[in-house]
A and B are shown apart, each in its own frame.
Chain A
C-alpha cells in the first residue's frame, strides 16, 4: 500500500482528502512538518483560500524547502485547488510570491458571469491522460475558486473548463500533477481520479528506488 502524505498547513478540509485517499486503497499521512514527509511515497498539496497566508503557514511549518526538494527530485505530487496555484511563480490575488516550480501566474478568472466559480463544471481533456483514465470525457468536477493559474507553457495543460472563458484546470509535468477542482468532493469521478494518481505514484515509486532520492 503506498503512503500518500497530505501537507497540513492549518486551513481547509483535510478530513475529506485523507478519507478519499484511504477509500482508493492508499494510506494517508497527514503531515505537519518535514520529518513526517520522509516516510511517504507521494505528496498531496491541498489548500483553499488566498496564497499569501498559505505561503506564510507553509514557511512557519518548515514545509517550503521539503516540498521544493520533493518536487525537484521528480517524486509524485498532486496539487489540489490552491495547491495547484502555489506551484506557480506568484498570485495576483494578494501579490504573494509562490513556489515558482512552474513558470506562470495565478490571475483572476476572466469574464466569469459569477465569481467565485462555485459548483460542478465539465472538464475537457485531450488525448489519453493517465490522471483521467476510466473517467467519461466531459465529466463534471467540483470547483470553488476565483483565481486560476495560467502557465507560460501551454504544453503543461492537460485539461480545461469554461466559465465565461476557457481556462486550464489540470496540469502535468512528469510526476508533477495538479488540478484546480476538488477530486475529494467530486463524487465517484473524483475518487477515480485520486485512484489514478495513486496508481501513477505507485508506478513512479517502482521506477525510482529510494536510494536515488537521498
Chain B
C-alpha cells in the first residue's frame, strides 16, 4: 500500500535554514544538511528545500547545498525557489535533487511546466501554489463559508508578496494539464499561524486533479496532519516550524496518522 507522506520543509537562504511567519520575520534555524539528516533518521518520507532568497548570486550556494544533502541523506529531495528555466532545473537535478518545484516562474510563463515535464518527466515537476482566501483575511467576510458566497482562493507569487489574477484552484488544474506531476499547496492565511491546514482549499483541489497533492501551511499538531489527509484529500503533508522547534516529532505525527487508520511508512524508531 502507498503510504501518506510526512515531509519536513526547510526554507533556506544563503545556505541556512530560516523560518518566518506569513513569509516574513525570518529567523535562523540551523544547518540544512544537519536538519535533513536528523529528519531522515526520525522517519521523514521526503525533504523539501525552498530557497527563499532565490537571488541569482545564491545559486551556487544552493547547488552546493543540494549536492551535500544528496550525498548524505538517502530519501527524496525536492528543491524549489528561483528556478526559471529548463537549464536551471537541469542544474538542480544534476546537483542531486529528485524533484524541482516551480512557482513564480510557472505563473509568469506556464509553458515552463510543459517544457520541464517533457525534458525530465512529469514526476520531477512539482508546481507550488501559494494561495490566499478571497476576500482576504481581515475583510468583513473573513473567508468564512457561512457567509454564503462560494469559497475562492487567489494565487500569490514572489514568496506570497505579490497577488496574481489567478484563481488558485483553476491554476492548479491548469498546471496539471501542462505537466505538473505533483502540487504543493500552501495556504498563505495559515502559514506559520498554527491554525491548521486549509482543508477546504485542499479539498477543492484534490477533487479536481489526479496527481498527488502536498498540503502546506498551518500545521500545529498531529491531528492537523490527519485532517489534511482525511478532510483535504492530501497525499502528503508538509510542515516546518513544528519540526524545527521540536514542538512535535515526525514519529509522533506518524503515530497519530497510524492511529487514525492511515497507511504510513514505519521506520526504526517510529512507533507505528
Contact = CB atoms under 8 A, between A and B. Distances in A.
A146 B123 contact: yes
B102 to A, nearest CB: 16
A14 B121 CA distance: 16
Interface string B89-128: 0100111111100000000000000000011111110000
Interface in B37-94: 40, 45, 67, 70-71, 74-76, 90, 93-94
B182 A118 contact: yes
A53 B119 contact: yes
A167 to B, nearest CB: 12
Interface stretch (A15-23, A59-67, A125-133): A15-23
Contacts of B71: 15-16, 19
Contacts, number: 111
Grouping DSSP codes into helix (H, G, I), strand (E, B) and loop, the A interface class, with mixed when no group exceeds half, is: mixed
B152 interface: no
A138 to B, nearest CB: 10
A121 B99 CA distance: 18
B74 A116 contact: no
Interface in A131-151: 140, 142, 144-146
B68 to A, nearest CB: 10
A126 B109 CA distance: 48
- The residue among A19, A119, A121, A182 with the most chain B CB atoms within 10 A of its own CB is A119
B181 A15 contact: no
B198 interface: no
Interface stretch (A35-43, A99-107, A184-192): A184-192
A185 B76 contact: yes
Contact of A15 (B67, B235, B267): B67
Given A13-B96, A50-B118, A120 B74 contact: no
Residue of A20, A50, A118 with most partner-chain B CB within 10 A? A118
Nearest to A140: B265
A163 interface: yes
Name, among A120, A145, A190, A191, the residue most crowded by chain B CB atoms within 10 Å (CB to CB): A120
Contacts of B235: 114, 118-119
Interface size on A, as a range, is 35 or more
Tell which of B4, B236, B267 has the most Cβ of chain A within 10 Å.
B267
B3 A121 contact: yes
Contacts of A152: none
B95 A185 contact: no
B224 to A, nearest CB: 20
Given A16-B70, A50-B121, A116-B123, A163 B96 contact: no
Contact of B93 (A13, A50, A187): A13
B5 interface: yes
A20 B74 contact: yes
A92 interface: no
B182 to A, nearest CB: 6
A108 interface: no
B123 A16 contact: no
Interface string A1-37: 0000000000111111001100100000000000000
B149 interface: no
A15 to B, nearest CB: 3
Cβ-closest 9 pairs across A and B: A49-B121, A15-B96, A144-B123, A120-B265, A19-B71, A116-B123, A15-B70, A120-B3, A140-B265
Interface of B: 1-5, 40, 45, 67, 70-71, 74-76, 90, 93-99, 118-124, 181-182, 210-212, 235-236, 265, 267-268
